[in-house]
Amino acid sequence: MSNNFIEFSKPFIDAAKNVFETMVFTKLEPQKPFIKKDNVSRGDVSAVLGMSGVLKTGDKGPVEFKAMFVLSWPYETYFKVASAMLMATYTTYCEEISDAGGEICNMVTGNAKRDLAVMGYSSNMSIPSMIEGAGHTIKYPPGTKIIVIPITSAHGPMFMELCYKEE
């Protein structure tokens, strides 16, 4: 795993902690990351957001990069997260909570983008998309490495995934 990938992932962890504390009223406990070898989601509901941009560092020329940020939740966790965020009780997946994960993903990436800019990454974000269903798969950009950061919280487990590639 390149140093740039490790450096790139830190702002997402900090931003996720901030977003969950402020909007979902819960603390996140990130666990030991691992490299993912397949494309099957570890959760039942996933929010996916793509990024692309340029890394400018002092010692070498600009490098283009592609990245993707994914948050996946088992259904039970997703219902509790959406319920806390929207101050209502949800026990099934429905239209009303279908974009809650996307909004969380959007906020995390938006915040991470600010810290990444300080580190030399200028980036563009896509609009988040949602995938729902047990055992769903995620389409990662070809040739990228994927790391999974399992997270525990009072609402249950969730999974943060990041993939990153320099071109």
Task: Return residues touching another protein (CB under 8 A).
Answer: 18-19, 22-23, 82, 85-87, 95-97, 99-100, 102-103, 106-107, 109-111, 113-114, 117, 125, 127
- Of 46 and 146, which CB lies nearer to another protein in the complex structure? 46
Q: What span, in angstroms and rounded, lies between the C-alpha atoms of 21 and 40?
A: 28
Is residue 43 within 8 A of residue 72, CB to CB? The reply is yes
Smallest separation, CB 162 to another protein (Å): 18
- Of 35 and 87, which CB lies nearer to another protein in the complex structure? 87
Smallest separation, CB 115 to another protein (Å): 9
Question: Which residues, 6 or more positions from 44, have their beta carbon under 8 angstroms from its beta carbon?
Answer: 72, 73, 74, 75, 78, 132, 133, 134, 136
- Of 104 and 138, which CB lies nearer to another protein in the complex structure? 104
Smallest separation, CB 21 to another protein (Å): 8
Smallest separation, CB 85 to another protein (Å): 6
- Of 56 and 114, which CB lies nearer to another protein in the complex structure? 114
Q: Give the DSSP per-residue string, 12-54.
A: HHHHHHHHIIIII---EEE---EE--S-B-SSSEEEEEEEEEE
